[in-house]
Amino acid sequence: MNKLRRAFLRCSFCRKPNSKVAKLIAGRRGYICDVCVASCNKILEATPPGFAGWETLTDEQILDALLPAERTVEAVRAVLQEHIDVLRKRGVSWEAIGRALQISRQAAWERFS
């Protein structure tokens, strides 16, 4: 059974299965793959300690931060969409989803359906 369970492990951010990544790190409530960790590290590297604001960074530093930031946003968006899909399969209403997101039922439907 443990072997079968491992076959279904996947990164909580990019949703790649463990068979498609070099490493999958377990957390309390999810997993993160080596590729997503690398993206996070690039974002952190682009943000100097004691961040004094975007205006203090060079154009090159900001440009270098764009792709990792975009990948992070897309990974989180994919996880959010999966949560919504599971809730809808369970019969949870758009009203309840909108309320949880602090948006209207209509806005939730338009954004996630």
CA Rg value for the chain: 18
| The pLDDT value given to residue 88 | 97
Confidence tier at 47 by pLDDT (50, 70, 90): low
Q: Other CB atoms closer than 10 Å to residue 98's CB: what's the count? A: 18
Task: Specify the higher pLDDT residue, 46 or 66.
Answer: 66
pLDDT tens per residue across span 17-27: 888 889 989 88
Over the stretch 48-62, which tens digit does the pLDDT of each residue have?
A: 677 788 888 899 989
Q: How far is residue 48's CA from residue 66's CA, in Å, rounded to a whole number?
A: 15
* pLDDT at 95 exceeding the cut of 90: yes
With a cut of 70, say whether residue 70 has pLDDT above it: yes
- The residue range of the domain holding 37 is 2-112
Instruction: Please report the DSSP string for the chain in residue order.
Output: -HHHHHTT-B-TTT--BGGGSS-EEE-SS-EEEHHHHHHHHHHHHHS-SS---GGGS-HHHHHHHHHHHHHHHHHHHHHHHHHHHHHHHTT--HHHHHHHHTS-HHHHHHHH-
Number of domains present in the structure of the chain: 1
Question: Which pLDDT score is estimated for 48?
Answer: 66
- pTM value is 0.54
